[in-house]
Amino acid sequence: MNNHLRELRDQRGWSQGELAERLDVSRQTINALETGRYDPSLPLAFRIARLFERRIEDIFLPDSD
């Protein structure tokens, strides 16, 4: 799954560690999300969307087949 997480984080000037603290996950989880190695659970996707004041579908994009 592709996403805009890195761009949103950079716009706020947050490190991966700072974003991880805000979402109560590890920095490794943020790295895995940003690099597309991990798809978030639905509750985590909602927390991310709420934090950035966006819709989930504005942040996470399905892979094109």
Whole-number Å distance between alpha carbons of 53 and 37: 24
- For residue 22, the model assigns a pLDDT of 98
Domain ranges of the chain: 2-54
Whole-number Å distance between alpha carbons of 57 and 28: 23
Query: Is residue 60 within 8 Å of 40, Cβ to Cβ?
Result: yes
DSSP class of 63:
P
Question: pTM of the prediction?
Answer: 0.90
pLDDT tens-digit series, residues 38-64: 999 999 999 999 999 999 999 998 876
* Span 13-34, average pLDDT: 98
Report whether pLDDT(65) > 80: no
In this structure, CATH architecture of domain 2-54: Orthogonal Bundle (1.10)
% of residues, the chain, pLDDT over 70? 97
